[in-house]
Structure 1
Amino acid sequence: MRMSAAARTVLPALAALIAAYLVLAYFLVPEMWIFREHRLPHFDSMVTATADDIPGDPINVGLVGTKAEVMNAFATAGWHAADAITWRSSIDIGLSVVLHRPDSDAPVSPLFYRGRKQDLAFEKAVGDSADQRHHVRFWLTDQSDNDDRPFWLGSATFDRGVGLSHDTGQITHHIAADIDAERDGLIRDLQAAGHITSTYDIDGVGATMNGRNGGGDSYFTDGLTLIGIVASGAENRQGAAPLR
């Protein structure tokens, strides 16, 4: 079938427009943000960063427990480990959003804490697609408790919908502003599943009313990081073991 004259004109223009968008959103604008952020005082040590080195979501939750204990706790609580980002998983999450079909283990974008991508990520779907979901990323630290169980720091947020980043124009999930609600809800889920024996707070990003993450979304927080002690087998800890 021969292509019409109109199609021969429109298709190259459309391809050029898409290429211009990709270059602008994924290369030029991120470089502008990197330049801007590096001229400002460096962001707080309890804030993650995007792959473009733009300040991301704050650290607002933590766990003490082995990897197996943490994985088991989330599985029992009805949360799913997020898939790695591959062509297949990227297509699946896209179809989930567009076709409104479930994808309970959809991938999450990488965030970096102290130069490292998250070690673990979990999510709990809301509704019939990956458009909205509770999710959390965790980073293994070099600290442990008195029983040599690892200390994990994490960032819990709620994805309220898919759209374009307010800062770069990249396709992304937008988060809900009340990140404390996500932090507290996550720990409540693990407690209800019988896997958290005690909790305590540590200083986090600090009280913030007008924060902005790497997608340009606003957030507010009391600034505390809520730490949960994961149950070790049948043991029921009565207090939080100190970190060392």
Structure 2
Amino acid sequence: MSRRLRMRAAFLLLAAMLAAYLAISYLLVPDLWLFRDSRRKVPLNPMVTSTEQGIAGDPINVGLVGSREQLIRAFAAAGWDAADKVTLRSSVDIGLSVALDRPDLDAPVSPLFYEGRKQDLAFEKPVGRSADQRNHVRFWQTATAGQGNGPLWLGSASFDRGVGLSHDTGQITHHIGPDLDAERDLVIGDLEKAGQVAETYEIPGVGATSNGRNGGGDPYFTDGKALVGVLNPASAASAGAAAK
């Protein structure tokens, strides 16, 4: 067999293996997983997000009270970046960031769903050079008013400790760190340090959990409370003016 034919055969084999992996991990296994372990399919708790397949995701552990513009300005002032939407281009960029250990400050976050829709906003702060490790948080605007009568945004904050394969489906994903309370406190703490939070208060979350698992099969623990920050309108406006 000539070298060209061997290369073609190797390419076709690789393509077939990739197609089989995608079909098994993204189509077949999620359905089998739900059939095998339907108890973890949401709704389990009104303060838990879900994956697109209906698998229980990360719990709600943080909240902010303020307008959409206030959230964007507050995180910019705190040194966090808005995450890109998931597209082919952004997915390639984050893959290259991890593989080549180069920055991708606005790398996308995978969609999670709360009350039937995916996140409205997402922010991140990289740890190290690439998007392999990062602090990140997703937010959903609710129809409920928070303390001070402003719009209440509920969020799910977690630490991405590295890229790997989902323990449940084999899909490529970020694995999260188990201490969700530390990440919740970091988000609010960074906003407080930047002068963006006027006051904080707690609301009931998922409840105390010592052996939770998210949509990627990663374990987590939490005291089960959500920490809510009321954004300071004056500080957000000042941050916006300074950026111009």
TM-score (norm 1): 0.91
Q: What SS does the corresponding residue of 1:51 show, helix, strand or coil?
A: coil
Change (3 A) 1:138 1:234: closer
Change in 2 beyond 3 A, CA 1:19/1:145: closer
Does 1:162 find its partner at 2:126? no
Identity rate of aligned residues, in percent? 62
Instruction: Give the structure with the higher percent helix.
Output: 2
Count of residues paired in the alignment: 234
Cross-structure match for 1:75: 76
Aligned mates of 2:216, 2:102 — CA distance in 1: 25
Aligned to 1:7: 7
Counterpart in the other structure of 1:191: 192
Taking the aligned partners of 2:122 and 2:232, their CA distance within structure 1 comes to: 19
Structure 1 stretch displaced more, 91-100 or 13-22: 13-22
| Post-superposition offset of 1:144 | 1.3
Q: Which residue of 1 aligns with 2:28?
A: 28
Deviation string, structure 1 residues 64-110 (Cα, Å, up to 9, x no partner)? 01111111110000000001111211111111000100011111000
Match of residue 109 from structure 1:
110
CA contact (8 A) 1:62 1:152 kept: yes
SS in 2 for 1:185: helix
CA shift for structure 1 position 158: 0.3
User: Which piece of structure 1 moves more, 38-47 or 102-111?
Assistant: 38-47
Distance in 2 between residues matched to 1:210 and 1:35, nearest whole Å: 22
CA RMSD of aligned residues (A): 1.8
CA distance in 2, matches of 1:43, 1:71: 31
Could you say what secondary structure the match of 2:178 adopts? coil
State the one-letter code of the partner of 2:228: I
Inter-CA distance 20–79: structure 2 relative to 1 (3 Å threshold): same
Give the counterpart letter for 1:59 in structure 2: I
Distance in 1, matches of 2:115 and 2:80, equals 26
* DSSP-derived class of the 1:161 partner: strand
Change in Cα spacing, 1:11 to 1:88, as seen in structure 2 (3 Å) is closer
- Taking the TM superposition and a 5 Å limit, the aligned residue runs for 1:56-95 are 56-95=57-96
The match for 2:134 is 133
Gaps of 5+ in 2: 237-244
Following superposition, the deviation at residue 157 of structure 1 comes to 0.2
The Cα of 1:140 is off from its aligned counterpart by 0.4
**Amino acid aligned to 1:161:** G
Q: What SS class does the counterpart of residue 84 from structure 1 fall into?
A: coil
> Does the alignment pair 1:201 with 2:202?
yes
Tell me by how many angstroms 1:6 deviates: 3.3
**C-alpha deviations, 1:6-45, integer Å up to 9, x for none?**
3344333222211111110000011122334545674111
TM superposition score normalised by structure 2: 0.91
Unaligned runs of 5+ in 1: 236-244
**Mapping for residues 112-123 of structure 1, pairs under 5 Å:** 112-123=113-124
Say whether residues 1:213 and 2:214 are aligned partners: yes
- State the distance in 2 between where 1:77 and 1:49 align: 28
Once the two structures are superposed, residues 41-62 of structure 1 have per-residue CA deviations (whole angstroms, 9 ceiling, x without a partner) of 7411111001111100000000
Structure 2 match to 1:16: 16
The residue identity in structure 1 corresponding to 2:65 is: V
1:233 alignment partner, SS class = helix
Change (3 A) 1:146 1:132: closer
Q: Distance in 2 between matches of 1:37 and 1:150?
A: 36
> Is the Cα–Cα contact under 8 Å of residues 147 and 230 in structure 2 kept in the other structure?
no
Mean Cα displacement is larger for which, 225-234 or 21-30?
A: 225-234
Three-state SS of the structure 2 residue aligned to 1:209 is: strand
CA distance, structure 2, for counterparts of residue 13 and residue 124 of structure 1 = 39
1:224, distance to aligned residue in structure 2 (A): 0.4
8 A contact 1:37–1:54 mirrored in 2: no
